[in-house]
């Protein structure tokens, strides 16, 4: 099954999460992605839990639809093979610390000599220039140094990272957007580009209103739980069996909420306008929770939605996987057959097209699974050449 990126050739040198997430998205959209790993060990995430029959489900999810190749990029023969692949490729992805690829003689400036049209996407903690550029960068550092952690959590709790590695995910998404923009420009000009993505930059960008509050007022936002700085009630509320979200984004919706809850206290003048409700959010939350605590999550959500009020459950993952919209109609979880792990349910692509399709066509590769296939089909090597290279132990 082809996709929107059918025919686009990608070399994916990335490891663990941010880079592989970008490569996964390109592959799901139909790109021909070769994941190149270190011989013998491969991507560090091959050892990450959860493990199914000795195989990492973490790795399987992020590296589906990719061909697998091992290659020693420190060896001269390994570099030659890589450069031959670059000659016929459209996009190269890497997430090494800035300078590593240059030391190998495989940085952007060298690759563009081989292929001026190459699009080079790189993800690092702090980007390829600036005083912090040589620092190691991980998701939690991106969340911390961007300011995200300082605003995540409750007033009486320490700074908190999000439940998922959101800096890595946003980094991968940003790289995907960047390389596709550069590829679109290349189609017009014939010239490639280097796309430099920083995990910290991505998180700073994602903070939107948080940044603007400080830049415009001088107040540094801190942790406020699940409520929103600009709107109320737009928060989580305790139910009899968990928590629900009520999102009244304007005065009209608050009026509808009053009609449903029928609580005289909601008519107080201090809740009349949105700005008043933001100021008096604590009092308003107590009043609303006096109603929600007496009812179950699904009953609350149904009542509010029927009245035209945006609402939803705070789902545990077991509820998400069983949800008729998310798991059913939108097919966000699909079965994938793996030669070692067996049948494994993984997260599907979130990109939906009308005239094309994303798809999971291949299981994540075993280490070096497609070495010979790539050498034969992409580089036209014969048995003798392949055996010679095998003897050099570069795979």
Active site (catalytic) residues = 168
C-alpha–C-alpha distance, residues 69 and 366, integer Å? 9
Tokens standing for 305? 């939605």
Helix-strand-coil percent breakdown of the chain, rounded to 5? 45, 15, 40
The residues facing 245 across adjacent strands are: 236, 312
Q: Alpha helix (H) ranges present in the chain?
A: 18-28, 57-62, 76-87, 100-103, 108-114, 139-145, 166-189, 199-206, 208-217, 251-261, 274-279, 281-292, 297-306, 317-322, 371-377, 383-391
Inter-helix orientation angle 199-206/208-217, to 10°: 70
Query: Would you state the structure tokens that stand for residue 334, as one six-digit string?
Result: 């699909």
Strands 91-94 and 66-70 come out as unpaired
In eight-state DSSP terms, residue 267 is G
At 67, phi and psi to the nearest 5? -80, 145
State the helix-helix crossing angle for 18-28 and 166-189, rounded to 10 degrees: 50
d(CA 175, CA 196) in angstroms, rounded, equals 8
- Spatial distance between the Cα atoms of 202 and 77, rounded to a whole number of angstroms: 36
């Amino acid at each position: 099954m082809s996709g929107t990126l059918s025919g686009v050739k990608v070399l994916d040198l990335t490891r663990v999460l941010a880079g592989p997430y970008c490569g996964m998205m390109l592959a799901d959209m139909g790109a021909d992605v070769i994941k190149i790993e270190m011989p013998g060990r491969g991507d560090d995430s091959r050892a990450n839990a959860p493990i199914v029959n000795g195989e990492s489900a973490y790795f399987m999810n992020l590296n589906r639809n990719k061909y697998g190749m091992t290659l020693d990029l420190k060896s001269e023969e390994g570099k030659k093979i890589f450069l031959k692949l670059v000659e016929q490729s459209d996009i190269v992805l890497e997430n090494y610390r800035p300078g590593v690829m240059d030391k190998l003689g495989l940085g952007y400036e060298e690759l563009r000599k081989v292929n001026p049209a190459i699009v080079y996407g790189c993800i690092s903690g702090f980007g390829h220039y600036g005083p912090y550029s040589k620092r190691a960068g991980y998701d939690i550092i991106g969340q911390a140094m961007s300011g995200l952690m300082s605003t995540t959590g409750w007033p009486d709790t320490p700074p908190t990272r999000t439940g998922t590695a959101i800096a890595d995910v946003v980094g991968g998404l940003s790289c995907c957007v960047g390389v596709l923009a550069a590829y679109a420009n290349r189609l017009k000009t014939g010239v490639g580009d280097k796309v430099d993505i920083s995990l910290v930059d991505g998180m700073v960008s994602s903070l939107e209103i948080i940044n603007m509050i400080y830049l415009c007022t001088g107040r540094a936002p801190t942790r406020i739980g699940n409520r929103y700085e600009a709107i109320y009630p737009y928060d989580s509320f305790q139910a009899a069996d968990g928590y629900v979200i009520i999102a009244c984004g304007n005065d009209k919706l608050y009026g509808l909420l009053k009609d449903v809850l029928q609580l005289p206290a909601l008519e107080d003048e201090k809740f009349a306008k949105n700005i008043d409700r933001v100021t008096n959010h604590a009092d308003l939350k107590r009043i609303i929770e006096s109603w929600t605590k007496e009812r179950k999550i699904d009953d609350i959500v149904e009542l509010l939605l029927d009245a035209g009020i945006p609402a939803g459950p705070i789902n545990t993952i077991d509820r998400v996987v069983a949800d008729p919209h998310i798991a059913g109609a939108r097919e966000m979880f699909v079965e994938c057959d793996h030669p070692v792990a067996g049948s494994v349910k993984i997260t599907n692509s979130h990109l939906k097209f009308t005239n094309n399709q994303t798809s999971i066509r291949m299981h994540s590769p075993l280490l070096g699974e497609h070495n010979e296939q790539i050498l034969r089909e992409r580089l036209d090597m014969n048995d003798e050449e392949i055996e010679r290279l095998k003897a050099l132990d570069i795979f």
